[in-house]
Amino acid sequence: MSSLLIKQGRIVDPVSRRDEVASLLIEDGVIVDVDSSRTDADRVIDATGKIVVPGLIDMRVSLREPGHKEDETIFSGTAAALAGGFTTIACMPDTDPPVDNRAAAEFVILQAERARHCRVVPIGAITKQLKGEELAEIGQLVEGGAAAFCDAKRPLANSEVMRRAFEYSKMMDRPLFHSPQVLELIAGGMMHEGYYSTLLGIPAMPSAAETIMIHRDITLAEMTGGRIHLMGMTTRQGVEQIRQARSRGVSVTADVTPHHLFFTDESMKSFDSKYKVFPPFRTESDIDALLAGLQDGTIDVICSDHQPFAEEKVICELDQTPFGVVGLETVLPACIIRLIQTGVLDWLALIEKLTINPAKILGIEAGTLTEGAIADITIIDAEREVTINPDQFLSKGKRTPFAGMKLSGKVQTVLVGGEVRYEAV
C-alpha cells in the first residue's frame, strides 16, 4: 500500500466547509485522513504556507484534436491544464470532425488516458456537424462518456431543435451548454456595441444579442424541465435574468471567465487581437454585475474558455484573426488578484466555483477533499508573484490579454488519483 502525506497545508474544501491548517494522508490514491497526525509516509510533501484545495475543474476547454493539431493537441492541452492546477477538464466538441458520435467521444477519453496528465470529460455536440439542424446521436454520446451537450461557440438558432435537445437531454439526465447569442445581431461584429465601437469604427455586437437568447433558453428550459448551462456571461441584464429564473425554480446555471472580469471594450482601442474574444468584453457596469453574480451565487462557475490558435492565425489583421484567447494557465492567478485580494470572494467561495460546482453540473465525482474521495489535489503558493509570459505556457496557444501583467499565485503541485503529475520548478 503506497502512502503520501501532504503536511501542514491550509486545507480549503468547500464541501466540508473546512478552511484550516491540517495534514492530508493519501493511501492508494484515496484520501483516508483529513487531519492526520502521521509524520511519515512513502512520500511527504511539505505544504507549510501553501493552500491545499481539491483539484480544479474547468468546464470549457477547446483541445482542437482531431483536426487542428497546429493549434493544440490533447497532450499539450492537458499538460497546460495541469500547470494551471486543473485535474479535470471538459472538452468542447468543436474538433474536426466534431464530437457528435460515440466513437469521437471515446477517442477524446482514450487520447487523454494516453497523455497521462489530467482527466478529460468529453462534451458531445447537440447537433450533427455542429450545424444546428439535426440532433446528434444523444444516447450514443452518453454511452461514449459525454457529460453534457453543446455546439461549442455556435449559438443554436433553431428553437424547435433546441426544444427537442432539452427533451432528449432531460431523459439522459444531462445538461445543455449554450453560448447565448442571436446570430443575426452579432453577424460581422468584433467587439461590444457602444461608445468605443462607434469611436473606433469597428463592427459591433449589442448586449441585446445575449439577453434575447438567454430569455429564449430559459423559457425552453422552464417549458421542458430541462437543464441549461449558459456559457460566458457578459451582461448586467443577463445576470439579472438568470437571478429571476432561479427564483422561479428554473434549472439554470452559468459561468464567467476571468478575463471578462478584468477587461472592458475600451481595451480594443489598441486594435490588438488579444482582446478579440467571443462574447466580447463589455463595460465596467457589466463587470460590476458579474462580480455581484459571483458573490450571490447567480454565477456558479469560473471557466478558462481556453481557445488556442497557432501563431500564424493570430498575427493577421483584426478582422481576419479568430476569436479567443488561451486561459488554462492564467485562471488561478487572475482570480486571486481580481477576486481574493479585492475581497469579492473568500477562498472557500472561489474554490467552490472552480471545483464542486462544475463537478455537480457535469455529474462527476470530484471536487472535494473529504475522506474516501479520490485524491485529485492542487497545492497553491498564493503569495508568489508571477509575471505572465506566454512563451512559458505549455499550451501551443500563446495569445492572452494577461501577457506581461503581474499577477499573484503559482500552482506548486498537482496530484491526480494520488499520483504527483505536476510540480513547479
Catalytic residue IDs = 305
Residue 269 CA to residue 109 CA, distance in Å, equals: 42
The secondary structure of 131-165 as a DSSP string is: -SSSB--HHHHHHTT--SEE-TTS----HHHHHHH
What is the spatial distance between Cα 224 and Cα 362, in angstroms, rounded to a whole number? Answer: 20
Q: How far apart are the first and last CA of the chain?
A: 29
CA-wise closest residue to 273 among 303, 302, 307: 307
> For residues 118 and 76, what is the distance between their CA atoms, to the nearest angstrom?
11
Q: Is 42 helix (H, G, I), strand (E, B) or coil?
A: coil
Sheet holding 149-150, edge to edge: 149-150, 176-178, 228-230, 252-256, 301-302
**243, three cell numbers:** 437571478
Instruction: State the cell numbers at 405.
Output: 501583467
Contact (CB, 8 A) for 265 and 280: yes
The values of phi and psi at residue 245, to 5°, are -65, -40
Residue 379 has φ and ψ, to the nearest 5°, of: -110, 125
